[in-house]
Each structure stands twice: as C-alpha cells, then as structure tokens.
Structure 1
Amino acid sequence: MSTDDRASKANLVPRFSSLVRVLKFLASSGLRPHAIQFSWFDQKRWLTRSYKQPFNTDPDKGFRLEDEAMLQQQVQASQQGRILVANMGISYRLELEYGYYRLCYTQVPTARHRLIHNLLAEKDITQYELTDMVDEGRMLPPYQDARIEDCSGTIVTPVKIYHFWLDWVNGQYSLGDKSSYTSYTGEIRTFWNELEAEDYMGSIKDARRRMTLRRRVENPQTDESGEMWEIREEEANIARP
C-alpha cells in the first residue's frame, strides 16, 4: 500500500466508520465492487471507485456525512427486522439484520447466466462461481426469448478453474469447447480450457473465498432465478484471510 493510499484510508475511518465497516465486510466476503447504490440513493446516483482509488467521499459526488448518518440509523433500525442497504449490479444485494450485514446473491440473474448455468450442468459442474465476465460484442440466437450476447469469463469450482467463451457453433450453444485458437506458444487450444495454478488472480481467489463462506438460503423469487446464497458478516470477519 502506498503512502497516499494509507493517508486516504486513515482519513476515511474517523468520518466514515460505517462505510469502512461495509467495505471491510465486502472485502472479507470476496467481493470488491466498483459501484454501490445505497437504498436511499436516486436511480442515477452510485458510489464508485476506480481500480487504483478508494471510494469517493467528495461531498458533491461521493459518500456524504448524511449518508454516514443514514447507515448508522439503518444499523439501529435493523434490530426490528431485515433492511435492504444497497445493490451492487444485478446479482448482489447488501442487507442488515439485527445489526449485522449479510450479502445475498444468485448465480443466474439473467437468461445468459441461466444458459451458462445449464451448459455447465451438462459438464456435471453445479458448484461454481462465475467471475471476470466480459461482453464480446456478437449477438447470439435468443435464449428463452431473451437477447444473448457472447461473452468470455472464468468458472471457479472447488477444485478447478476454467476459462470459457459462450458462443453459437454448428447450431448449438457452446462454452468454447467446439471452437479453437492458436496460442502464443503455437498450440491449438479450445476456448474452454482449464487454467493452471500460476494463472490465479485476485478475482479468482475472491471467488474461492465466496465459495468457502456462502450458504444456500431460500430464494424469494417465484420464477426460475436459481439458487440464492448468503454470506454473513459475523462469519466473514472471523474467517478473514
């Protein structure tokens, strides 16, 4: 950590201790979001950060003192029941329950995620975390009446790590095992391939951490939205790496 980073963190703690608690819990859970929308924010307002800078606490654009006060009030109000605190993208939501945070998420929030989930099931992969997903810019045939764009990413299982590329080949959806490319070493490889241990990155380690901490909970959605997982603050902080 650089001197500037230490100074920024030290300055953040006294004024925004509740925000620091949230960020500490998310990091301990293996989640490092680049944007958070707290429940009292309007639809256009997000708390954002870059890869190198901490979350913005500028009074005009970032997290404000009144937001810190709101977080403190929500901790007290949660003694009466569960409260939605924030959303992070389409998959993750942060809640408070009896003074403690819980992170809830589903692996299949969209039709594309359901397609990937079903293709993985055909490979007998049912326990996994999906990370580093990137849109690749080509539209595939609709799936379950939904528009689908091809994408690449990483599948993390309890014992293995795979790279995939969601594609349409010979009239079928594929995770990349039906198409190939030439690597920089001259090898012919499929886009579905197992990664070596030295290929581990921070996001993959975070995915493994989520798998270690998560537990299945009832999904309140009535449609086909997949398994719901939760990670609790009490357990995540105790098991901090």
Structure 2
Amino acid sequence: MRKRLGRERFGMIVGLPILILLVGGGWVIWRLNADLDDIEARQLEWSLLGTLFWQHLKVTAAAAVAVLVTAIPLGVLLTRPTFRRFSGPVIAIANAGQATPVIGLIVLLAMWIAFDFWTAVLALAIYAFLPVLRNTMVGLQQVDQTLVEAARGMGMSQMATLLRIEMPLAAPIIMAGVRTALVLVAGTASFAAFINAGGLGELITTGIKLFRYPVLVSGGILIALLALAFEWAGRLLEALLTPKGM
C-alpha cells in the first residue's frame, strides 16, 4: 500500500489520525481535570458539546453534499464542446463567491433569506464551490485525448467514455478539490453560529463575549480537529479512487 500511495501521502493518511487522537485525547484529559468555574463548566458540559458537535457536523455535511452534487456535474458539463464557451463566466462567478469574506456572505444571505440552518448551508456551499468546480474541469481537461479517441473508436458512447475513461483518470485531481472544499467548509462552519445555525462556533462566540478563554480555546481546538478529520477522509478517498499506476 505504501508503494502505491507514495511516502508522503501514506504518511499523511497514517499520521493525521494519530495527530487527531493525540490532540483530542489531550483535550479530553484536560477537560476531565480542569478547574472550571460554573459558567465554563456549563459551556463545556459533555451533553452540550455533543449537541454543538452534531450541529456543526450537519451543516458541514449538508454544505459538502450541496457542493458535490452541483460543482462536479457542472464542471463536467463545462468541459463538453457545446458548453465550453460558458466556462469563463461561470468560473468568474465562482471566484467571486470565494473572494467574498465568508462571514460577510453568511450575514448578508441571512439578512436576505433567514437566520437559520439552510442559509448557513447555502453560504458555505457558495464559498467552497470553486475548488471542486475548477479541479473537475482541470482534471478532465488533462486526460489524454488519444485515450478518449481510442475509446470512441472502440464503439463506446460519450457517457461510457466519460464514466469509464475520463472520470477515473481525472479522479485524483477532482478529489484534491473535494478535499480542499471539505476542509474549507468544516472550518468556516464555525460562522454558522452568527446566524443561529448552531455548531462549535457557539463556544468561540461565548468565550469572546464572556471572556472565558478555556471555552474559546476549546472551541478552536474542536473545530480544528474536525477540519483535520475531514482532511484525512478526503486524502483517504483520494487514495482509494486513484487508479493503480498513477
């Protein structure tokens, strides 16, 4: 397995879970032994932490799914000859979505739509849309066209060629974009707390408002660990979907 993945990728896949366990275990040990006041203890109750973690995971997963089911098909469509001329304007719009500060995007959408879960999902999906779209297009554009022509010459349809030749060869680049989007969404989902969508960002806002630094730092650590977990999952999927020999 190490030979197939390469030393660096194998080290990341093995090392990230170890890092997550070490940091997460260290935080749990600190939490069990920390001398907290009443406010800090209430904010760091295990039941509340579980609720906030679940809320954060839901908004992250929903935004990630929204990105995948829209950006990948659109990226495929924009590499087809009929729609290739639209790629420039679409990329420009996606660039604008990521160039906008995510906190501003979330608040503006909340003022326009509603202060709720789905507005946070929409804002995060817009913010993380570009890496998946761009990598899908780049991955498909870099597929050797002689292989595509050979497949068509053997009688394969356009759809069969796309699914059996182009997508597998483009998978490593596409998955790199997916991994980037997952980490972006997991980290920026903390801003969902600003529009009443819950999540671990609540710990950060509470820690700032009440000057409770154990709560603030705990929120930052837990969000970072979740982002690292998504980074690891993305790298694992990237390794599994990469065809042998690439």
Higher helix proportion: 2
Fold-level match, TM-score > 0.5?
Answer: no
Larger gyration radius, structure 1 or structure 2: 2
TM-score by length of 1: 0.24
TM-score by length of 2: 0.24
